[in-house]
């Protein structure tokens, strides 16, 4: 799994078009301020890692959120970080579990619709830790 994590003063997105034919039609626009924005890419080799991968994913998000004293998280699928790709079903199930766990831990979570290309604007902070790359 590859992650690009940002601390964003503001995040905005709007659905543009479907990238997976089986997903429902969604026309959505939303935004969040003072958030950790997570661009994630689930790789094929991640499919056998189970709970340990989920725990690492959540730990990295919570760590960065703590550095910026925020409980707001944006989760955005970004399948451009590796040539290896997990199945869409696995990736969607993984991210749904992650969002649910974050919400149960008291975070406000905004997930962009899975299986969509989106327009987005991101105002990233200037601090060094406002931009982090992780391989899990």
What CATH number did the domain enclosing 39 receive? Answer: 3.50.80.10
Q: Is residue 79 over pLDDT 90? A: no
How many independent structural domains does the chain possess? 1
Spatial distance between the Cα atoms of 20 and 36, rounded to a whole number of angstroms = 26
* Confidence check: pLDDT of 51 > 80: yes
Length of the chain: 136
pLDDT confidence of 81, banded at 50, 70, 90? confident
Domain extent for 20? 2-135
How confident is the model over 117-129, as a mean pLDDT? 95
pTM of the model as a whole: 0.91
Q: Averaged over 10-38, what is the pLDDT?
A: 95
The yes-or-no verdict on residue 82 having pLDDT over 90 is no
pLDDT score recorded for residue 116: 94
């Amino acid at each position: 799994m590859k992650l690009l994590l940002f601390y964003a003063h503001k995040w905005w997105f709007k659905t543009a078009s479907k990238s997976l034919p089986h997903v429902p039609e969604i026309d959505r626009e939303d935004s969040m301020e003072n958030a950790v924005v997570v661009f994630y890419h689930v790789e094929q080799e991640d499919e056998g890692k189970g709970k340990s991968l989920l725990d690492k994913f959540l730990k990295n998000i919570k760590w960065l959120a703590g550095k910026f004293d925020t409980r707001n998280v944006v989760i955005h699928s970004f399948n451009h970080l590796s040539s290896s790709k997990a199945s869409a079903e696995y990736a969607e199930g993984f991210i749904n579990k992650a969002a649910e766990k974050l919400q149960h831990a008291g975070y406000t979570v905004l997930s962009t619709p899975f299986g969509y290309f989106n327009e987005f604007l991101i105002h990233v902070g200037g601090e060094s830790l406002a931009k982090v790359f992780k391989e899990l």
